[in-house]
Structure 1
Amino acid sequence: MNYPQEHIMPYGDSGKKSEQIGQMFDNIASAYDRLNHILSWGIDKRWRREAINGLKPFRPQRMMDAATGTGDFALLTCRELCPELLIGTDISEGMMNVGKEKVKKAGLSAKIRFMKEDCTSLSFANDYFDAVTTAFGIRNFDDLDKGLSEMGRVLKKGGHLVILELSTPDRFPMKQLYAVYSKTI
């Protein structure tokens, strides 16, 4: 299919979207968490917790957090669900470097690993993960259908996929606040 977000290019029409997105997030990595929490008025933290709570009954042991960014969702997931292994994937080294520092500081380096991966062509085997999560990342996929297909491919049969994403509000004042948020992040 053809989705509107697939045509958003941070730096114009030159280059592949995934390369532009990676560069953009490398450039804002150090300020991303603070900016994200301010612009969402901190509500993103509650949304993350609610999304993770949906996985608790299933006790996933091997997980992937796609488009992990700075690892906020991965860290919270690891604390709440205690999987044996959680692999955070992203196309931005800068964002993952921030995440690696947070994971190290939290003492979770043995459980959380980061890998540079494009979600439209993951290097993992079929049926590898018990659960796959992504928070506020699918809007940046080069090809949404291909990214979703890849996440499904690496997910075990009977596994669980959790997608946390924003939709475009249509009422005041959220519509105006979202416009500011989406232009900034």
Structure 2
Amino acid sequence: MTPDQVTPDGAGTPTDTHFGFRTVPLAQKQRMVDEVFHSVAKRYDVMNDLMSLGLHRVWKDLLVSKLRPPKSERPFALLDVAGGTGDVSFRTVEAGGAGTRATVADINGGMLGVGRERAAAKGLADRVEFVEANAEELPFADRSFDAVTIAFGIRNVPRMDKALAEMRRVLKPGGRCLVLEFSRVDVPGLDAIYDTYSFKLIPGMGKMVTGDAESYQYLVESIRRFPAPEVFAQLMREAGLKRVDWTPLTGGIVALHSAVRI
């Protein structure tokens, strides 16, 4: 059982999970998450800039820097799970050489549509592929990718353990798995400021920019429900990944988790 799954009676098969601060049937969470991202897809990237004060760009650049796509023509295949609008994939192929390719896998067709439009505008449509896929059941062969990433998406997956196991399955031996996700603020004083900003300002910001405050209320709550770094690291180990580590960024607002398939 992952930290996101609960049983009302404390025993038996997990039947419920968390959707923000609410408890919902496990089978319904994916549909509810889909509705959130369908609602905000067109303005998702604008809101990322506003919510993070542009820092999400720095965090993603750090992820790609740790990924180190080869500068040569040597083939390098990235799978970006829950990659939606393509941010991490674009950064990766732009940082790598001619042999670097990326596949964006996302369950949300609206987000993928925005990603395809962005790829065409950037002239990257021939290097970045978009595939509608569930993170818990990836439609790719074993040992297909040199690296797998997921940025700010793992907390929205109903069964994180299944997604991590799938990410390991499609990795080549020696391939790296990188997970960028919100974490636990570890700077005294910053935690209170961060809570006020998150709960008081972000939903209102979402209302102004996307016309949807409720979706951003969920996103803020989902950040608070995400397990602490050491707990998530253990989930990665249980999925069969090795050399698990993490680096806190910006006072612990975000953590970059790293592991490899042996």
Letter in 1 for 2:89: A
- Structure 2: 5+ residue stretches without partners: 6-16, 203-215, 220-262
Q: In the alignment, is the contact (CA less than 8 A) between 1:18 and 1:91 conserved in 2? A: no
Deviation of the 1:96 alpha carbon: 0.7
SS at structure 1 position matched to 2:163: helix
Distance, in Å, in 2 between the alignment partners of 1:38 and 1:10 is 23
Q: In the alignment, is the contact (CA less than 8 A) between 1:169 and 1:178 conserved in 2? A: no
CA change 1:55–1:160 in 2 (3 A) is: same
SS at structure 1 position matched to 2:167: helix
2:217 corresponds to: 183
Distance, in Å, in 2 between the alignment partners of 1:69 and 1:124 is 17
> For 2:30, which of 18, 21, 43 is the aligned residue?
18
2:116 corresponds to: 100
Higher relative contact order, chain-length normalized (CA < 8 Å, sep 6+): 1
After TM superposition, the structure 1 = structure 2 runs for residues 1-185 of structure 1, keeping only pairs within 5 Å, are 1-4=1-4, 6-8=17-19, 13=24, 16-56=28-68, 61-82=76-97, 83-169=99-185, 171-179=191-199, 181=202, 183=217, 185=219
- Structure 1: 5+ residue stretches without partners: none
Distance, in Å, in 2 between the alignment partners of 1:109 and 1:31 is 21
Q: CA RMSD in A?
A: 2.3
Distance, in Å, in 2 between the alignment partners of 1:9 and 1:159 is 32
Deviates more, 1:79-88 or 1:139-148: 79-88
Once the two structures are superposed, residues 94-129 of structure 1 have per-residue CA deviations (whole angstroms, 9 ceiling, x without a partner) of: 011001000000000111010011010111111000
CA change 1:41–1:184 in 2 (3 A) is: farther
* Number of matched pairs: 185
Q: In the alignment, is the contact (CA less than 8 A) between 1:10 and 1:24 conserved in 2? A: no
Deviation of the 1:149 alpha carbon: 0.5
Higher strand share: 2
Deviating above 3 A after TM superposition, structure 1's stretches of 4 or more consecutive aligned residues are: 9-15, 57-60, 178-182
TM-score (normalised: structure 2):
0.65
